[in-house]
Amino acid sequence: MCTHHYFAAYTAGIHQEHAGVVHAKEKPCKFVGCGGAGTRRGMCSKHYNRERTAGRLASHPTHSPGATDVVPAGPVRAHLVELIEGGLPPGRIAMLTGVNLNTIIGLLGAKRRGGVPVRVTARSSATRIGLLRLTTEHLPSRTPTLALGARRRLRALLASGWAVDEIAARLGVAAVAVEAILSPELEAINVATHRKVHSPYRQLAMAPPPVPDQASLDRAHAGRWPTAICWANIDLDAERYASIPQAA
């Protein structure tokens, strides 16, 4: 075979590696009465595509429902409904969590072409959505929540001229802990940490330091970090305030 046909046969699962021949003997599609070749996870292409479109298969073609990277969609859907009823539209949820908007729409029960709601979703998507809270007021201290709100608060303080060391002292933590929250790589913190950031933020946000820390101001300007006054809801705003002052 030429290279093109070799890889075509190999991909279809009908290449016999050691014998060097191609044969047409294949298992039938698992759907009764289909008659097609079950070349795609025991299904013909028609039924495989229908099942995947209907949301009954995991998004990755090499995994099946029940694998460790997928979870039932029901609890995730219920949490999404709670967020939306609390005033968060799907687009904002997508922005805050980093989950694709189409995934969120599918989880909300939007009908696919097969007329069947999504039944499973990626564990990573479920985790990110589950971390988004309308409020942490009544949650246990060890409950995980998105680090986004705490990060925005700390960045707002730096944008007002507060030094990292001073913020850390107010929080009662080491400066390295403040830097960890400032990093966009940190996805989640517990509610206790969120509250620890929130308390001094309320005291410092509208009271600039006696001597602004130039390093903090430069860092905030480089990152275009808004000050506290730029946010209507620092935890849930979809976009940061557009008119961030520019340096002269």
CATH number for the domain including 97?
1.10.260
CA dist., res. 80 & res. 92, Å (int): 11
pTM of the model: 0.60
Structural domain span for residue 122: 70-131
pLDDT (0 to 100) of residue 114: 53
**Residue 162 confidence class, pLDDT cut points 50, 70, 90:** very high
Tell me the per-residue pLDDT of 199-217, one tens digit each, with 9 for 90 and over: 889 999 888 899 999 999 9
- Structural domain ending residue among the three candidates 131, 153, 180: 131
Residue 11 lies in a domain: no
DSSP letters, 128-146, are HHHH--S--TTS-TT-EEE
Say yes or no: 118 and 169 in one domain: no
Residue 112 has pLDDT above 70, yes or no: no
> What is the number of structural domains in the chain?
2
CA gap 55, 60 in Å, rounded: 12
pLDDT (0 to 100) of residue 110: 60
Q: Which one of 80, 97, 131 terminates a domain?
A: 131
| Position 175 in a domain | yes
Cβ count near 67 (within 10 Å): 13
- My answer on whether 126 and 156 are in the same domain is no
Same domain, 180 and 214: yes
**Mean pLDDT, the chain, whole residue set:** 79
120 lies in some domain: yes
Token pair recorded at residue 241: 């305030």
In a domain, 177, yes or no: yes
For residue 192, the model assigns a pLDDT of 94
> Within a domain: residue 245?
no
Per the domain annotation, does 101 fall within a domain? yes
Residue 29 lies in a domain: no
151 shares its domain with 126:
no
Complete DSSP assignment for 202-226:
HHHTTS--SS--HHHHHHHHHHTPP
Task: Specify if 171 maps to a domain.
Answer: yes
